[in-house]
Structure 1
Amino acid sequence: MKFFATAAALASLVPGILSLTVNTPPGVTYCEPQLISWNGGTAPYYVTIIPGGQINAAPLKTFDTQNGNQLTWIVDIPAGTSITFSTKDSTGAQAYSDAVTIQAGAGTT
């Protein structure tokens, strides 16, 4: 009987451990590399960039399917644009970063 109680307790923790979250970067600068990372969920992952805070908007950028939990993007969306990183996993779970505004960089892409 203890086995079943322990198994049930562990099963109740799994959704919290595997829940999908997207890390909000502290700053995003035009023409510079930006690490996008996420935790939890189940691969493969589908990563997009949408207008800041607009979860139903069409993507501004869509990346190739990812099997890991991070990718590096050379920022090619103009400075001043507010964006949100969106990640969806193979189970359909979806997570969003906070909105961030792209800062001006020294170069051009």
Structure 2
Amino acid sequence: MFATVAFAQANDDLTINTPPSIVQCKTTMISWDGGVSPFDLVRISISLSMHNTETPNLLLSINLRAKCSVTEEGVVVEDFPNILPGSSFDFFVDFPAGATLGFTVTDNNGDKAETAPVTVQESDESTCLSD
């Protein structure tokens, strides 16, 4: 019976939970269900508001090697590979209020799930934002 339960869990469809809100300079948990570990989590910037100027078709791209570039909307800009063994990741929101982000999780089988776009909310904390 144990093998049957483990097999059923391994074949669950992969889904990712859209965070109800994300707040600048705060940590938010990104979680998912189903799928087969290990998982890769990718952050996608959809739009970024800069100095009260909306730039929906361009965005600031930051990867783990600290390279910055301007890319087209919806391009992968940060990858958190091989999250083991769990089904969640604490993401520090170092984006200003008004930026719109999305997340995609991919499991070991190549199955993917995406969040809906989420707009970063304002907070009193802004020390994490670069000038």
Give the TM-score, by structure 1 length. 0.76
Instruction: Give the ranges of 4+ consecutive aligned residues of structure 1 lying more than 2 Å apart after TM superposition.
Output: none
How far apart are residue 74 of structure 1 and its match?
1.3
- The reply to whether residue 43 of structure 1 matches residue 37 of structure 2 is yes
SS in 2 for 1:48: strand
For residue 66 of structure 1, the aligned residue among 83, 92, 115 is 83
Q: Which residue of 1 aligns with 2:98?
A: 80
Q: Higher helix fraction: Structure 1 or Structure 2?
A: 1
CA RMSD of aligned residues (A): 2.3
Larger radius of gyration: 1
Conserved in 1, the CA contact under 8 Å of 2:46 and 2:74?
Answer: no
Structure 1 residue 41: Cα displacement = 0.4
Sequence identity (%): 31
Residue identity in the other structure for 1:73: F
Residue equivalent to 1:25: 19
Aligned residue-pair number: 94
- Distance (whole Å) between structure 2 residues aligned to residue 73 and residue 50 of structure 1: 13
With normalisation by structure 2, the TM-score equals 0.64
| Runs of 5+ unmatched residues, structure 2 | 48-72
